[in-house]
Amino acid sequence: MTTLGWEGWARDVAGIAAAHVTRIRGLLAQTRSAPARQFEVFLADLRGTLNDSITADEAIDTLAQHLVTRPVFEALFDGYDLVATNPVAAAMERMLATLDEHGPSDEHGPSAENETLESFYAAVRRRVRGVDSAEGRQRILVELYDQFFSVAFRRVADRLGIVYTPIEIVDFILRSADAVLRREFGQGLTDEGVHILDGFAGTGTFLVRLLQSGLIRPADLARKYARELHGNEILLLAHHIAGVNIQTTYTDLTGRPEHFPGLVLTDTFQPWHQSWQPGRLPSPPITVIVGNPPYSVGQASANDNNANERYPDLDEEIRRTYADRSTATNKNSLYNSYIRAIRWASLRIGDRGVIAFVTPNGLLDGNSTDGLRKSLADEFATIHVFDLGGDQKGDWRREGGKIFGAGSQVGICVIVLVRDRTRVPPASVHYGRVGDYLGREAKLARVAAAEDILTVASTAIVPNSQGDWLNQRSDTFLAYLALGDGGIFERHGRGYETGRDVWVYGSSAAGLRDVMGRATQTYAGVLDGHATNDESLIKWTVTLRSLAKRRVPLPYDERPPVRATYRPFCPQWMYADQRWIHRPGVVASTFPTPDHHNHGFVLTGVSSHAPFSLLAVQGRPDLHVLDTGQYFARWRYEKIAGYRRIDNITDGALGRFRAAYPGEAITKDDIFFYVYGLLHSPAYREAHAVDLKKMLPRIPFAADFHGFVDAGRRLSDLHLGYESATPYPLRATVGNATAPLATLSPAGDPYTFFAVGDRKMRFGRPSAEQRAAGAKQDRATIHYNDRIVLTGIPSDAYDYPLGSRSAIEWVIDRYRVRTDRDSGIVNDPNDWSREAGNPRHIIDLLARVVTVSLTTTEIIRTLPDLDILPGVVDQT
């Protein structure tokens, strides 16, 4: 039996466990009852044995979870008298016996509910009977608790970043830690005085596999088990399972059923400098730290009310190291749990030792983690990396399968850090990669076949001064004039990050008024004491909760909605009150009121997963017009006796351009168009592709200044005025009749005839000849709706990319009816057509964007060569 159908089982667990919680609370509410008295004893036992801070709610949740999983637990550890040797198991069984004795015995009791899972339990027992290896039992535990926590208790898993580790990765990390320790210090994991810590023990897999691995000599096993193996775990049930798991493994190996003393119920991060429980165990001098740190960036929505914990001491350590040394503008991601784990381990390891983690591989090349890489290179002597790929946001085909399956969308790597204070920094960095286009199982097979990280084929890397390990940026690029930060533009920044797009954006001005009327009414009710997290009534963000906490009134704003650029060629109406915008970004100073107008361009920001691109826009830009971008406005405003418009091109930039091109009558408009033209240059983008992934553009002085100015002006006019472009002469087929699109005229209601539906427009099926050439679609044909098929789209029209897709594909993607799952809000792009009085708006827009695409590619082909003026550089 290769699978137990964990997913189907887990869907039942949450409800059954919740019913157990309700039942247990009901029994305990009878304060003088036997269950209530036994619970006080149980809670005191847990606190005395594990941690004084265990709450009654945590204990109740753990009992409910254990009631559901107890049959699996009994099958996995059949034959072991755990109650006799494990104090937590003894306390748990005494409490459960009392609950079983005094709980309901009718058809709605715990036993009846567990009968709904009996077929699953039977399958577990059959599978466990067929497991004849210690590794097999660990695989079952990993699968069980991965699904148990991530599905049945999703909120806890999301907050704590719980993902359990494949056995192949666990074994590889342990072998690597042993090999590196021997090479660097002449000691192995088995040696006396080598204390080993897993700060995120989960169900104990790392420590169990270490006992089973043979890396510890039989003569050293008793000493290691009693004094030199340590684990921290924050979840009570997982801690209990880990203790039993480690103990039974030791019993298998030695025949001696001895309680494992090295496991501590604690939050490893709180406090970072004293993760061993005060007064219970001394804090040992750790030589090796291994494990899989939790991966959790933060809650997806303030409606979840499920924010990550805060750790002031540890976060201050991150701020003064990784954050202070980073050049990134937004450093919030540096406080996620896996980077906290790296900082904690760096502090915990002391002057000499090894850290071996599996962790997201974004730290190897991300812009926000440049300070982390600089710090690691200074704090450690040697760094080994084995990159396992799997990033689903980039070139996912090349990146291959996800090591953690559905548990992660990010790439993964194994990183081994060697601390030796006697050696002078920077560290030597060794990088190896598992291979491209490999599925998950193929990757795990390669990991299993590798002896350790020292045997992996690797390349020595010399980090540059910017903290780059991979894809190092060029010194030439750094010599060019900075686009932002007072170089060419005085100010730039992020577009609107609303935190509630479906609420504050809409294709219908009237619909937007209805939606926001509901939200403002709900908000007013909250101020009156009627709290709610119902996403059909309101969408919370941290900033909106802060306003409510301060009791700031937000009456409905009667001003007309303003026009915003939501995505390329996709304007939306936007609610005028910016207090409903989670983070207004730079837009607050470039469009200070609904009556102010501006234009500029948005470009893909640093660390974008999409290729570099930019687009001139008229309306207020959303943060994600192009991936996660940056906005450079032509003008900015200062509040002086109203608002005063100020040129956003700096005087310093004007002086530098005039110095670079003496005798030329250069204006700030010329500079704006020069930049827009040059940033479309394929030669520039190709030469600086790596740089543009890590930094905002820097601008060289090209020999043909006016050539780029003229091209930039034409491109800007074209992109800002796309709604006035001449529609490309497509042909339209309705039924058996084909005619030019321009002459297409329905007999009935034109708004219904030209309306798009909730299905996305799609390309045509390829012909036999196209299939033979490898094509999966006929992109010359677009099925516009159920009635109209458009043909005659030139292939060159798809050569105008904007971020993740071509300009035409942006229209295909965005123009369909969408219903938001959580709020029920419907955004119908046909409403824009109706309110504009133009039933052909969307279909003609598609034809106009074909024209825009072809014209753009034609202008780009005529751009001047990228001949850079010699000796004209700038270090701004």
Cβ atoms 867, 703 nearer than 8 A: yes
In sequence order, what are the residues at sequence separation of 6 or more whose Cβ sits closer than 8 angstroms to the Cβ of residue 202? Answer: 145, 162, 164, 165, 233, 238, 242, 292
For 791-848, the pLDDT digits (tens) are: 999 999 999 999 989 999 999 999 999 999 999 999 999 999 999 999 999 999 999 9
What are 630's strand-pairing partners?
603
Which pLDDT belongs to residue 108?
A: 47
Count other Cβ atoms within 10 Å, centred on residue 124: 23
Q: How far apart are CA 154 and CA 403, in angstroms?
A: 20
Which pLDDT belongs to residue 242?
A: 85
How large is the C-alpha radius of gyration of the chain?
31
Distance of CA 504 to the CA centre of its chain: 24
Which pLDDT belongs to residue 721?
A: 97
Q: How far apart are CA 140 and CA 128, in angstroms?
A: 8
Q: How far apart are CA 801 and CA 863, in angstroms?
A: 17
Query: Cα–Cα–Cα angle for 23, 24, 27, nearest 5°?
Result: 90
Cβ atoms 780, 795 nearer than 8 A: yes
User: For tokens 């560290």, what's the residue?
Assistant: 427
Domain ranges of the chain: 731-861
In sequence order, what are the residues at sequence separation of 6 or more whose Cβ sits closer than 8 angstroms to the Cβ of residue 330? Answer: 368, 494
* Sign for the pseudo-dihedral over CA of 163, 164, 166, 172: positive
Cβ atoms 493, 586 nearer than 8 A: yes
Lowest-confidence segment of 126-135, 143-152, 265-274, 435-444 by average pLDDT = 143-152
Which pLDDT belongs to residue 6?
A: 58
Taking CA atoms, 44 is separated from 91, 164, 602, in Å, by 10, 30, 60
Which pLDDT belongs to residue 302?
A: 45
Average pLDDT, stretch 415-432? 95
For 751-779, the pLDDT digits (tens) are: 999 999 999 999 999 999 999 999 999 99
- 304-318, 400-414, 500-514, 627-641: range with highest mean pLDDT: 500-514
Q: Which two tokens stand for residue 179?
A: 């090999």
For the chain, the first-to-last Cα distance in angstroms comes to 64
pTM above 0.85, yes or no: no
Task: State yes or no: cis peptide before 682, omega within 30 of 0.
Answer: no
Q: How far apart are CA 405 and CA 147, in angstroms?
A: 11
Cβ atoms 301, 502 nearer than 8 A: no
Average pLDDT, stretch 146-164? 57
Q: Does residue 264 register a pLDDT over 90?
A: no
For 250-259, the pLDDT digits (tens) are: 988 999 988 8
Query: Cα–Cα–Cα angle for 613, 619, 623, nearest 5°?
Result: 50
Which pLDDT belongs to residue 463?
A: 92
**pLDDT-derived band at 143, boundaries 50, 70, 90:** low
Q: Does residue 271 register a pLDDT over 70?
A: no
**pLDDT-derived band at 631, boundaries 50, 70, 90:** very high
For 848-869, the pLDDT digits (tens) are: 999 999 999 999 999 999 999 9
SS3 383: strand
- 199-208, 397-406, 492-501: range with highest mean pLDDT: 492-501
Which pLDDT belongs to residue 70?
A: 75
- Under DSSP, the state recorded for 622 is B
For 55-74, the pLDDT digits (tens) are: 888 888 878 877 777 777 77
Which pLDDT belongs to residue 275?
A: 42
Cβ atoms 251, 317 nearer than 8 A: no
**Exposure of 358 in the CB half-sphere (CA atoms within 13 A):** 26
Q: Does residue 429 register a pLDDT over 50?
A: yes
What are 428's strand-pairing partners?
382
Which pLDDT belongs to residue 266?
A: 77
Which pLDDT belongs to residue 259?
A: 85
For 703-729, the pLDDT digits (tens) are: 999 999 999 999 999 999 999 999 999
Q: Does residue 103 register a pLDDT over 70?
A: no
Which pLDDT belongs to residue 280?
A: 43
**pLDDT-derived band at 2, boundaries 50, 70, 90:** very low
Q: How far apart are CA 203 and CA 238, in angstroms?
A: 5
Longest dimension (CA), the chain: 97
- Under DSSP, the state recorded for 573 is E
Which pLDDT belongs to residue 305?
A: 44
Q: Which amino acid is at 168?
A: E
Distance of CA 89 to the CA centre of its chain: 38
Q: Is 708 exposed, middle or buried (0-12, 13-18, 19+ CB in 10 A)?
A: buried
Averaged pLDDT of the chain: 87
For 328-379, the pLDDT digits (tens) are: 877 888 998 899 999 999 999 989 999 999 999 989 998 889 999 999 999 9
Average pLDDT, stretch 75-86? 68
Which pLDDT belongs to residue 127?
A: 72
For 298-320, the pLDDT digits (tens) are: 444 444 443 456 788 899 999 99
List the one residue out of 229, 166, 691, 725 whose CA is nearest residue 466: 691
Q: What percent of the chain has pLDDT over 90?
A: 61
Which pLDDT belongs to residue 276?
A: 39
Q: Does residue 82 register a pLDDT over 70?
A: no
Which pLDDT belongs to residue 846?
A: 98
Q: Which amino acid is at 597?
A: H
